[in-house]
């Protein structure tokens, strides 16, 4: 069975976890926060009875996830707690965590999805070995960044971003690389008709994360070229 780790059990982590469970994956959720009354309007997996509970544990019970860790995902012990996963999805509200997930997945040669939503916009980055990574595009975490708790987020944006993330994660986990190395962006849902855009990303030659990958960008074309040359 395909194993997936979901980092974050909030507004994005909830529907993403539910979608991946329904896709037949074994899902492990990470979140160290507890359910607060301010979460209920946008984190539909929780209700009044969950107030004060750990989010990962409550989400596991609601979505039917296989495992839950009542702690935040950190790179320091990721090899131990995620060593057997086939794909990792970041659904956290932390820019630093997104870069840490990217760097760990890139270093260990795993496909990954990084989902974000804030205000009336959102994005989904789909990555895999030999394709551009999150750091190729954004380079480094911003010095100061708003969170959903600070700036708010439009509920429908969460659903839209989660749907794209689940679709991309499902494809990557099953070996489909057609959307790897792409960034999907979602603008205000009132903007028509092109409020969702898919952008292919070019890998940066000086990307520090890609240099640690067991198969850096360009490696697959190089291997194919060598195989073609050897057959002639």
Q: What is the pLDDT of residues 118-142, one digit of tens each?
A: 877 899 999 999 999 999 988 888 7
What CATH number is attached to the domain comprising 16? Answer: 3.40.50.720
Q: What is the pLDDT of residue 226?
A: 38
The answer to whether residue 154 scores a pLDDT higher than 80 is no
Separation of alpha carbons 219 and 22, rounded Å = 34
Residue 47: name the closest of 7, 162, 39 by CA: 39
Q: What is the pLDDT of residue 221?
A: 42
The answer to whether residue 227 scores a pLDDT higher than 60 is no
Q: What is the pLDDT of residue 177?
A: 95
Q: What is the pLDDT of residue 181?
A: 95
- Return the percentage of the chain with pLDDT > 90, whole number: 67
Q: What is the pLDDT of residues 79-109, one digit of tens each?
A: 999 999 999 999 999 999 999 999 999 999 9
Q: What is the pLDDT of residue 220?
A: 47
Residue 118: name the closest of 87, 89, 73, 149 by CA: 149
Q: What is the pLDDT of residues 23-40, one digit of tens each?
A: 999 999 999 999 999 888
Domain count, the chain: 1
The better pLDDT of the pair 43, 87 is held by 87
Q: What is the pLDDT of residue 45?
A: 93
Segment 96-100 long-range contacts (CB within 8 Å, at least 24 positions apart)? 96/141, 97/7, 97/8, 97/72, 97/73, 98/134, 98/141, 99/134, 99/135, 99/138, 99/140, 99/141, 100/73, 100/74, 100/75
Mean pLDDT of the chain: 87
The active-site residue, picked from 133, 136, 148, 186, is 148
Q: What is the pLDDT of residue 218?
A: 67
Asked if 210 is an active-site residue, the reply is no
Which residues span the domain enclosing 185? 3-230
- Return the percentage of the chain with pLDDT > 70, whole number: 85
């Amino acid at each position: 069975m395909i194993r997936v780790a979901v980092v974050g059990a909030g507004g994005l982590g909830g529907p993403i976890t539910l979608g991946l469970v329904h896709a037949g994956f074994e899902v492990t959720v990470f979140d160290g926060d507890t359910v607060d009354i301010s979460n209920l309007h946008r984190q539909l997996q929780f209700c009044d009875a969950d107030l004060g509970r750990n989010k990962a544990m409550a989400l596991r019970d609601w979505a039917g996830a296989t495992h839950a860790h009542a702690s935040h995902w950190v790179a320091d012990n990721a090899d131990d707690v995620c060593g057997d996963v086939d794909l990792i999805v970041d659904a956290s509200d932390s820019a630093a965590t997104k870069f840490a997930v990217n760097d760990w997945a890139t270093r260990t040669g795993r496909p990954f999805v990084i989902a974000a939503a804030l205000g009336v916009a959102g994005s989904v980055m789909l990555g895999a070995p030999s394709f551009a990574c999150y750091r190729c595009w954004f380079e480094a975490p911003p010095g100061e960044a708003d969170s959903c708790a600070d700036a708010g987020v439009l509920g429908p944006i969460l659903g839209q971003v989660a749907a794209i993330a689940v679709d991309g994660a499902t494809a990557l986990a099953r070996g489909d690389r057609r959307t790897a190395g792409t960034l999907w962006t979602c603008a205000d849902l009132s903007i028509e008709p092109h409020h969702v855009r898919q952008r292919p990303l070019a890998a940066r030659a000086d990307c520090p994360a890609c240099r640690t990958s067991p198969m850096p960008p360009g490696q697959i074309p190089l291997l194919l070229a060598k195989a073609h040359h050897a057959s002639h």
